[in-house]
Amino acid sequence: MADSGPANVPTPGFFHLDLFIKDTKDISQWYDELKTRLDRETGPMASGMTNLLSVFAFYKPRGKGEARKLLEDLTAKDETNLNAIANKQFMYGQLMRAKDEMTCRDRLQELLSDDSDYAKARNARCFAEQAYAIAFEVIDQSKDMVSKIKEAIGLFQRALRLACDTEAVTVEESLVWKFYLSKCHWRLDQVKWHDQKTTPPDRLDDLLEAQRLLIEVTQLDPSWTHGGFYIARAWALLGGVESKCRRICRRTCEMYETPDYLTKEIPRPTTSHIAIGPWPEVGCYEKSLEINPNDSEAYRRFGQSYIRSKDYENALCMLNKSIDIMPDAISNWFAYHARSSANFGMYNQQAKHAQRGGEIPSKHLLQKAKEDAMTSCEGAITPFNVYHLGKVCHRLAIHPVTDKVEDRGELEDALDNFAQALQLEDGYTNPKIHAARGRSLEAAEEYEKAAESYKRAVEHENAFYFWNFAGVLTNLLKLHRAVDGDVDRTKHYIAELAFWINEGYKKYRDITSALRYCVFNFGYQMMQVCRYLVDHDSFQLSRICLKCFRDHNSRTFRTEAESMLSEIHGKTACGEMVTPSAQYRPPEARAKLPVAVDKPRHSQDFQYDFFVSHSSKDEDWVNYALLPALEVDLRFKGCIADRDFIAGKDVFANIIDSIENSFKTLLILTPDFVNSEWCLYETKHALMESLKGKTGRVIPIMLKECDVPASVRTITYLDVSHDAIGSYDWRRLKEALEATPPNSA
């Protein structure tokens, strides 16, 4: 990158940059989007767009010739464009035109060795164009998105510093760079919004910097050829920044003051707009449209503002105008998504009215929402618009009041869309998508899978929202109720419920509301869970659960709960609350785990997909977190001692046979594991299997921080030890279980 040389001398070209398009199989939508954008966003960034378009063309099938022509036309207009010359050099090398390649190389060396005022301007433009390329439409929430946007911000800042040292860069050109730099700060805030570790003040810093830059852009000379376009866009984006700043400060109970410049420059809103919120935001949109009444993006942002205030009719009016101006789905996919959201929101308003005794709404609005959602996905595939399409399909599938399934096909479509959204999401880390999938599985009465989806949501959400935790409990309680009479399975679900109630207690500030909901809807099953907690000395949890029965409409349950509260009165657990896994449990209570998968994925060579080596003190996590995730959700067939060892067979023989007949062995690393002779024996035998030419068959999982046994220190382990429940990286574990050992026959 540019940092490899002096700070003011770039490494020209785009092909060495870490652009997301290199990993994209179909580049056509990005090519079409940029080509459309190049037609309307003319001006100082046109050379940067053309350079990037040539890269897109290069990665298209049989596109190298088009890419070469784009660059040759660009250098004919701008003979000293560093990126174009460097891109041509790369292109000529690919086309085996060595003479032309060397000519470009010599020309670059000549230009980069220049230290004149014009050279500084060339270098500044090179940095700015590279920044634009790196930041272009990185719309997936990948883990490296933050670093890419920050890299783009750094390059824009470097370009602006150089521009200050030369008169060869015009004021207008610098302000256009500041416009795109402000969009990088806006995008960085969007990414931070998905990161639960980011605090509101962190987000506010990026928004205020974007606001400062955009205010400068609005002061462009309107008589400049491209001035109207960028001034209008800046005002529209300022409206969005104003809205975000107010929402963040409202959430943190801080005061936010609109900059004096905005209050002086923007018009007061008309009466019809007062209802949608603070007038500075509305005024920004109105000023934008006053300057450029044919700007589809300004109408789209205005429409989104109405959606935030739940004024869906006015939102649809603005979004219709945006789509009328620019009907192309690739260029205006977000407007189609927003219009779908408006129709979806209007239907939900009507459904809430119906739940209070009003008229049952027609699903015509949902049909229109689905059409727009599908068009949006045709324009761009992102986790959130595919997730939205899934939500629309789910609402189409169920009755607006009873939630009963009316259209099984739409429900299947919803589940398909949620699965696709999770695959697009890096690491399955979006709790909203997991929760939505859980609701659809629950509607389909697939309660076991629904519980697993809610668990994934719980693992990734923050400690304030607890209703996904209620979803876990509700679906486990439905399973418990469904097997009432089957003593073995009932014991299993009671123990699993106790485990997850304990995990929720550790994660959330208050679980009383979730427990009260379960108590009032599943009183009999929750009373059994309370008895289990009392019997295992979890007195603190017992009290929380039992007190929820005090307002129950069943006198029998109230009496029984008070009796148990009297039974544990004055009893306390020593130190930290004791979990059931730390207590002795009779063998019959441990050995009745259900077998979720009949046939392993690797059935041709192995009886099991994995064997779990763990301490008995960690069995609750294995039984009620690990096994359900791998067997119920991901459909791997597991082997654990309590369930799958053959009764009457020598323990050593059971261990050896289970490891040899399992595709992979999971080692659950904890202090108790390290101190267990049985676990170390299982580790030793698993490693011996690897030494037989079957490397890659051992997967250590760090559940609790401990000294890793020397025998497995050279093996990379999955670390799930950080949180009360933890963001267990099930996707990585799934990939590890699927991976064929490198030396296996």
Per-residue confidence band for 743, with pLDDT thresholds at 50, 70 and 90:
low
More confident residue, 333 or 708: 333
pLDDT at 694 over 60: no
Q: Which of 381-385, 418-422, 691-695, 739-743 has the lowest mean pLDDT?
A: 691-695
pLDDT of residue 35: 87
Give the span between the Cα atoms of 57 and 333, in whole angstroms: 22
pLDDT of residue 484: 82
* Structural contact between residues 459 and 430, judged by C-beta atoms closer than 8 angstroms: no
Alpha helix ranges (H) inside 580-665 = 587-590, 619-621, 627, 641-644, 651-660
pLDDT of residue 190: 82
- pLDDT tens for residues 218-238? 999 999 999 999 999 999 999
pLDDT > 90 in the chain, percent: 56
Collapsed DSSP state (helix, strand, coil) of residue 113: coil
Strands (E), 638-729: 638-639, 662-669, 698-702, 718-719
pLDDT at 22 over 60: no
More confident residue, 456 or 713: 456
Per-residue confidence band for 249, with pLDDT thresholds at 50, 70 and 90:
confident
pLDDT at 645 over 60: yes
Arithmetic mean of pLDDT, 435-443: 97
* Structural contact between residues 668 and 613, judged by C-beta atoms closer than 8 angstroms: yes
* Structural contact between residues 502 and 535, judged by C-beta atoms closer than 8 angstroms: no
- pLDDT tens for residues 533-589? 999 989 999 999 999 999 999 999 999 999 999 998 877 654 333 333 333 344 444
Q: Which of 59-63, 304-308, 351-355 has the lowest mean pLDDT?
A: 59-63
Residues 6+ apart with CB under 8 A from 555: none
Task: Report the 10 Å Cβ neighbour count for 409.
Answer: 10
pLDDT at 490 over 80: yes
Q: Which of 271-285, 472-486, 673-687 has the lowest mean pLDDT?
A: 271-285
Residues 6+ apart with CB under 8 A from 697: 663, 664, 665, 686, 689, 690, 741
Arithmetic mean of pLDDT, 427-453: 92
**What Rg, from alpha-carbon coordinates, does the chain have?**
30
pLDDT of residue 198: 59
pLDDT of residue 461: 82
Arithmetic mean of pLDDT, 256-265: 89
Give the H/E segment covering residue 609: strand 608-613
Q: Which domains does the chain have, with CATH numbers?
A: 1-169 (1.25.40), 593-738 (3.40.50.10140)
3-state SS string for 341-381: HHHHHHHHHHHHHHHCCCCCCCCHHHHHHHHHHHHHHHHCC
* Structural contact between residues 305 and 277, judged by C-beta atoms closer than 8 angstroms: yes
Q: State the Cα angle at 280 between 275 and 285, rounded to 5°.
A: 85
How are strands ordered across the β-sheet holding 608-613?
638-639, 608-613, 662-669, 698-702, 718-719
What's 604's DSSP letter? Answer: T
Give the span between the Cα atoms of 677 and 681, in whole angstroms: 6
- pLDDT tens for residues 583-637? 334 444 444 566 667 888 877 788 999 999 999 889 889 988 899 889 888 889 9
Alpha helix ranges (H) inside 78-199 = 82-94, 98-112, 117-135, 145-164, 171-194
Give the span between the Cα atoms of 418 and 388, in whole angstroms: 9
pLDDT at 652 over 50: yes
pLDDT of residue 200: 62
- Crossing angle between the packed helical segments 523-535 and 512-521, to the nearest 10 degrees: 120
More confident residue, 623 or 216: 216
pLDDT of residue 199: 63
Q: What is the pTM of this model?
A: 0.83
* Structural contact between residues 324 and 291, judged by C-beta atoms closer than 8 angstroms: no
- pLDDT tens for residues 141-196? 455 788 889 999 999 999 999 999 889 999 999 999 999 999 999 998 887 776 65
Chain centroid, CA 531 distance in Å: 39
pLDDT of residue 26: 63
Give the span between the Cα atoms of 524 and 494, in whole angstroms: 12
Arithmetic mean of pLDDT, 82-86: 97
pLDDT at 3 over 50: no
Instruction: Specify the pairing of strand 718-719 against strand 698-702.
Output: parallel
Per-residue confidence band for 23, with pLDDT thresholds at 50, 70 and 90:
low
Per-residue exposure over 248-284, b if at least 16 CB sit within 10 Å of its own CB, e if not? bbeeeeeeeebbeebeebbeebeeebeebbebbbbbb
**Strand partners for 700:** 667
